[in-house]
C-alpha cells in the first residue's frame, strides 16, 4: 500500500512540475495543474513561470501543505462572501488532497475516502452556485464537510476550521 501511495505522490509531483511550467496550457490542463499544486503557489503569469515556494520547517507532508492551501482559499472566499461579493469559483479550484501522501498513512481507509468524496461533491455545488446567498450556503456546507472529517481524522486544526463558517 505504501508503494502505491508513494507512486501516486511521485506522479502527482511530476504532473505538477510539468503542468506548472507548461506555458500554453489548455483549460483542462490548467485545472489539473491548479488542483494538484502542493508546494507551488499560483503566482505565475501567462508569460513566465515564477512561483513562490511554501517553506515549512517541520517538513510537512504533501497533504498537510494542500490543506494549508485549502484554508487559504476558504479564508479568502469567506471574506469575499461576507463582503457581499459573488465568488469567481474558477479562482478556487478543487484541491484534491486525498491523492497525495498524508502525515499519517493510517488515515487512508475507506471512511477517509468517503469523506473526501462528500467534500468533493460539496465543493462542486459551491462551484455551481452563482449568487452570493447560494454561495454562502454551499460554502458553509463545504466547511461542514471539513469539520466532519477532521472530527475523525487529524483533530488538531478543528479550532481553526470552526472559525470559517459564515
User: How many domains, in total, are found in the chain?
Assistant: 1
3-class DSSP state of 7? helix
pLDDT 10s digits, 40-70: 333 333 333 333 445 556 789 999 999 999 9
Residue closest to 166 by CA, chosen among 61, 107, 79, 97: 79
29 within domain boundaries: yes
Query: Is residue 33 pLDDT above 90, yes or no?
Result: no
135 within domain boundaries: yes
pLDDT value for 89 = 86
166 within domain boundaries: no
- Residues 93/35, Cβ–Cβ less than 8 Å: yes
pLDDT 10s digits, 73-121: 999 999 999 999 999 989 999 999 999 999 999 999 999 999 999 999 9
104 within domain boundaries: yes
40 within domain boundaries: yes
| Domain that residue 32 falls in | 2-161
Amino acid at each position: 500500500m505504501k508503494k502505491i501511495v508513494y507512486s501516486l505522490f511521485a506522479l502527482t509531483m511530476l504532473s505538477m512540475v510539468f503542468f506548472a511550467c507548461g506555458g500554453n496550457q489548455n483549460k483542462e490542463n490548467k485545472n489539473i495543474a491548479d488542483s494538484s499544486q502542493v508546494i507551488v503557489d499560483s503566482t505565475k503569469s501567462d508569460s513566465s513561470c515564477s512561483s513562490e515556494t511554501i517553506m515549512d520547517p517541520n517538513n510537512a507532508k504533501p497533504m498537510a501543505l494542500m490543506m494549508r492551501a485549502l484554508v487559504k482559499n476558504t479564508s479568502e472566499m469567506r471574506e469575499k462572501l461576507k463582503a457581499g461579493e459573488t465568488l469567481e469559483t474558477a479562482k478556487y479550484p478543487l484541491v484534491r488532497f486525498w491523492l497525495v501522501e498524508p502525515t499519517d498513512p493510517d488515515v487512508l481507509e475507506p471512511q477517509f475516502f468517503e469523506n473526501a468524496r462528500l467534500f468533493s461533491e460539496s465543493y462542486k455545488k459551491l462551484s455551481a452556485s452563482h449568487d452570493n446567498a447560494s454561495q454562502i450556503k454551499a460554502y458553509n456546507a463545504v466547511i461542514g464537510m471539513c469539520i466532519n472529517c477532521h472530527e475523525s481524522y487529524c483533530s488538531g486544526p478543528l479550532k481553526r476550521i470552526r472559525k470559517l463558517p459564515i
